[in-house]
A and B are shown apart, each in its own frame.
Chain A
Amino acid sequence: MTPALRVRNVSKRFETQEAYAVYRASLDIEPGQIVVLLGPSGCGKTTLLRLINGLEDPERDSEAYIAIGDRLVFGPGVNVPPERRRVGMVFQDYALFPHMTVAANVAFGLHGMDKAEALARTAAVLEQVQLGDFAQRYPYELSGGQQQRVALARALAPQPQLLLLDEPFSNLDHGLRVTLREEMRQVLKRSGVAVLFVTHDREEALSLADVIALMHHGRIVQTGTPRDLYTHPASPFVARFLGEANFLPAQAHGDYADCILGRVPLDAPAQGCIQLLIRPEALEVSEDPNGQARVEHVLYFGHDQLLSLCLDGGERLLARTNGMPTFSAGARVSVRPQGPVWAFAGQSDPAAEAS
């Protein structure tokens, strides 16, 4: 089956800037797949989005091309204008047309369709996002969450092969986000459209994505499933971007390594000096007067808690436990890593690189 989107070696540099905003990015999206483009602000993810929908022109390069389904929209000698790429787009500020009703907004992209057909399609899409009763309202009469769903309906109405979403949740408050996220995932999955979703929120990315593409300084540094990226990050940067991480220097001997916490099994065999990646939740902490660490302080979240630990050698570790046991600052604890541990080669402090 042809991928819904193929991006190869696409670059973009703005006149006023020295560095590339996007450098030789390549990406595939299968039909019906949700790919999340994740990265810190300014990493070039929005620019990549705009290159895909044609609002920005990539650098000319004989190896660069963008194909949507089986149509080449950018490549040597080809540059299809945005209005003919048939890519749906949902913007951060929704960009609803304020002078049109909800129905007129949704029908905007159905220009050229038979009138009765367009009406039916509009009604159907609005029903899909549960806004059937709001067709004759104006955007300013709607709540933020409703406006977002209108924007989604408007983008889905012409049945695009590919839908791009640019941080659509960032204008909503946190509680609402989590509910709407699940709703949106269902709507998207039901419509069968291929989705490229841009965000800087790792929680959003991990929970929404089939595949995450992580961007840093204009490059896509790793692509994979959320679980893959979280447990097997390609670099300390990826590791840190997806969650809290401890890095411990260790000496590898094939399947296992020795570090300050003792001997640990390795996820992949290695030799020599390595850096272990230990997620806070992979540390088992228990109250122990003879333990090798001291609790410095506790961040209590209710369902879990984050402990800052100081080892006797002066090293600091973060550990996450469930919310049940009570730890008080100053208490002595013992720490033990669980399960096979992922590691990076080299001795340098990855924390410095990650920042």
Chain B
Amino acid sequence: MIPAALVLLPLIGLVAAWLRLDGEIWLHLWNTLLPEMLLNTMLLMLGVGATTLVLGTGLAWLVTTYSFPGARLIEWLLVLPIAIPGYILGYVFMSLFDYAGPFQTQLRAWFGSHVELPEFRSLPGAVLVLSLALYPYVYLLARAAFREQSAAQRDAARAAGLSDRAIFWRVALPLARPSLAAGVALALMEALTDFAVVRYFNTVTLSEGVVRLWVIQMDRDAAVQLASLLMLIALAVVLVERRLRHRARYYQLGNQSRPIAPTRLSGWRMVAALVGPSVLLLVAFGLPVAQLAQWALVEVAHAEPGTLDAVFGQYLFNTVALSLGAALLVLVVALGMAYAVRPHGAHAATNGGMRFLARLATLGYAIPGAVVALGVLLLLASLNETVLAWTGGAVLLSASIFGLMYAYLVRFLAIGFSSVEASLEKVTPNMEMAARSLGAPPSRVLARIHLPLARTGVLAALLLVFVDTLKELPVTMFLRPFGMETLSVWTYMLSSESAWQAAAVPALTIVLASVPPALLLIHLSRISAQSAEGTYL
């Protein structure tokens, strides 16, 4: 199947790097930064994994099991931090909480200059930022899983004499395990992709190392070798997640039975249930957005008339054009794939092979952006050489819109595919056969039955891919045609030069554009935990 091959080709180039193991490069890496990169990457994954698991699961349990004033609102708001990409939250936090920032300055003003907090530019700082930006993945899936559990199960546990606490540990949590594993895996994949936050926080990781070797030291061979190692770790995350899920797909017998009636909280418990999430939301969303808004206002007020408008307009146009292109491309491929693997005919199981290929094709989502970018670049470079050898004329494919779109497809096909596939499931094999027996050829069945029924999934896929492309950093940064800036690249460039105020304008734009799809995610996961789990995997 073509899409699977398309997606896997760039990755195969990197796997091939293992066949050409370069001892010298590895020796050099080992003697310099490799041990530190490996250790930091592991610690980052541990830290982000543990923090997002505890935060996401705890908050999901709170909003699904208890009722308190404002619970419904908090349930929706808790997903918002996902709208702030790590590279934006990171730089805002840096400005607020670093030694010279207003937070520590204020502390010194109150308590004297001897007050010194641990260094904020450190691995724990990076873990904090990434966890705050990524916990919503776990929250969304855990919440959907808890919601799907039936009251009957809890009643049975209660009748067996289990306390609320025991029910959480012994019934709800084990039942939700597949979803929790999926959520944490998503958070880890995002953490592995990140090279910006760790760079702000002076922490070298593998992703950061690949970028450094490739862009700063221009040592592409070494970058490829390191990238293949990073890819291996990312695939390990996928495997571990599958293993944890291992046949642990728990189905509710029959349809969603009686939903769980939440327990009403009162007194100090109610206050705690309100204050806890509120503080978290304030730190992870309210404060950063307020800070960005303030900077942006100042920037706009002080900018020379016309200059900001022109630049911003151009970059916004580039961003929207790229994101729209990526969304449409992904949608077309995803639709084709989902249509090809849909269950149809008497023996639906026979297209198991196709389904496996489809799953392979969606693997790109687990691979860090820098690795995908490097893989695409390698592939296109060798393609260029082939074309050059055949035709004698050079076709510059690599640093072009083509390469960029290709990489977006590899990265985001999973998102488009799973949301389209889930909605195509509404068309049963019999519906399709009924339409055909009524005289409709396959094209008319597609137009009148499949597409109308899959409409919400198609729209969701478009929106999700659009916004993911809009805030995407590594792929865009490394593969964009020369001189083609986007909002995300612009934000990163300015913020890494500590031009925080100037970076606020594109950053705020990205955050605001990301809010609607964040809310869409919670809506989708409400429809079905199953499909939300499949949203990315």
Contact = CB atoms under 8 A, between A and B. Distances in A.
Interface of A: 14-16, 46-47, 50, 53, 55-56, 81-89, 91-93, 95-99, 108-109, 111-112, 151, 154-155, 158, 164
Interface string B436-480: 111111001000110011000000000000000000000000000
B347 interface: yes
B12 interface: no
B428 A95 contact: yes
A91 B434 contact: yes
Contacts of A93: 428, 430
Interface residues of B, number: 22
B426 interface: yes
Given A91-B430, A98-B426, A111-B444, A55 B436 contact: yes
Contact of A111 (B347, B440, B449): B440
Nearest to A12: B346
Chain B CB count within 10 A is highest, among A50, A84, A95, for A95
A14 B452 CA distance: 33
A85 B436 CA distance: 10
Prevailing SS type, chain A contact patch? loop
A53 B453 contact: no
A82 B428 CA distance: 17
Given A15-B350, A91-B430, A84 B439 contact: yes
A66 B183 CA distance: 54
B452 A89 contact: no
A44 B444 CA distance: 30
Given A16-B350, A56-B346, A95 B430 contact: yes
A50 B426 CA distance: 22
A158 B439 CA distance: 9
Q: Which 7 A-B pairs have the closest CB atoms?
A: A109-B438, A95-B430, A89-B437, A95-B434, A91-B430, A95-B431, A82-B436
Given A16-B350, A50-B346, A97-B449, A83 B430 contact: no
A88 B453 contact: no
A190 to B, nearest CB: 21
Interface in B11-46: none
B440 A108 contact: yes
Contact of B345 (A56, A89, A99): A56
A30 to B, nearest CB: 21
A109 B439 contact: yes
Nearest to A104: B448
B396 interface: no
19 contacts: A53-B433, A55-B433, A55-B437, A83-B437, A83-B438, A86-B439, A89-B433, A93-B428, A95-B430, A96-B434, A97-B434, A97-B435, A97-B449, A111-B439, A111-B444, A154-B434, A154-B438, A155-B437, A164-B437
Nearest to A106: B438
A96 B428 CA distance: 10
A91 B431 CA distance: 9
Contacts of B440: 83, 108-109, 111
Given A53-B437, A93-B430, 7 more contacts: A16-B347, A16-B350, A55-B346, A56-B345, A83-B438, A87-B437, A111-B440
Contacts of A98: 426, 453
A95 B433 contact: yes
Contacts of A91: 430, 433-434
A233 B430 CA distance: 34
Nearest to A82: B436
B452 A88 contact: no
B431 A97 contact: yes
Contact of A82 (B426, B431, B437, B448): B437
A71 to B, nearest CB: 14
From B350, B439, B452, name the one whose CB has the most chain A CB atoms within 10 angstroms: B439
A99 B453 contact: yes
Nearest to A53: B437
Interface string B337-380: 00000000111001000000000000000000000000000000
Interface in B219-275: none
Contacts of B437: 53, 55, 82-83, 85, 87-89, 155, 164
A217 B433 CA distance: 25
Contacts of B449: 97
A99 B433 contact: no
Nearest to A88: B437
Nearest to B455: A99
B447 to A, nearest CB: 11
Interface in B309-358: 345-347, 350
A29 to B, nearest CB: 17
A81 B441 CA distance: 8
Contacts of A97: 431, 434-435, 449
A87 B433 CA distance: 11
Nearest to B347: A14
A258 to B, nearest CB: 51
Nearest to A93: B430
Contacts of A95: 428, 430-431, 433-434
A99 B440 CA distance: 17
Nearest to A46: B346
A51 B156 CA distance: 49
A109 B441 CA distance: 11
A92 B430 CA distance: 9
Given A15-B350, A16-B347, A158-B439, A82 B433 contact: yes
B431 to A, nearest CB: 4
Contacts of B347: 14, 16
B346 A99 contact: no
